[in-house]
Amino acid sequence: MNTLNDVAKAYKSSVLKAINPGVSYSGYKTGSSRAYKTGRLFNSINSSNNIQGMTKLGRDRKSFTFTFNISPNGAPYGKFVHNGTWKMKGRPYGEIAAGSKEVKDAIDDYMNQVVESELEITFESLTDKFLNAGFTVK
């Protein structure tokens, strides 16, 4: 059973993988998203983004929001690595992670569970309405 925390774990893992060892990324001159030299960015992102704080379930219990800090304390230059500067192309490790297969699969699993749960509730409600109307439901 996937939860929002499982989706957040997959996302965080994919971001850290995009930073080090890096994944193929043709938008940067080296052809990789690798953004690891001293390990400070990697360690700061890893420690500042806790799984419980990354996700927020909407009031409707059907929508959710992810919050991920790409320039945490100790590595404020992370936003320049991610977005780039006028001299350096960006290595958007957050966007690369969001498009990764692991994250997409985790979101799909979570959403399938949410949809299945909502369908069960809807069908139970319909069954109750049919029974109250005098129909037989098999």
pLDDT tens, residue by residue, 3-20: 889 999 999 999 999 999
- Report d(CA 85, CA 99) in Å as an integer: 23
Residue 11 lies in a domain: yes
SS3 for 15? helix
This prediction has a pTM of 0.84
- Report d(CA 97, CA 125) in Å as an integer: 39
Give residue 92's domain range. 4-112
Examine the pLDDT at 1 and tell me if it is beyond 80. no
Q: If pLDDT is split at 50, 70 and 90, which confidence band does 133 have?
A: confident
Residue 93 lies in a domain: yes
Summary mean pLDDT of the chain:
90
Q: If pLDDT is split at 50, 70 and 90, which confidence band does 108 have?
A: very high
Instruction: Round to the nearest angstrom and report the end-to-end CA distance of the chain.
Output: 28
Q: How many domains are there within the chain?
A: 1
Helix, strand, coil percentages (3-state) for the chain, rounded to 5, are 55, 5, 40
The residue among 34, 41, 40 whose CA lies nearest residue 96 is: 34
Residue 107 lies in a domain: yes
Residue 81 half-sphere exposure toward CB, CA atoms < 13 A:
23
Residue 21 lies in a domain: yes
Mean pLDDT across 101-122: 90
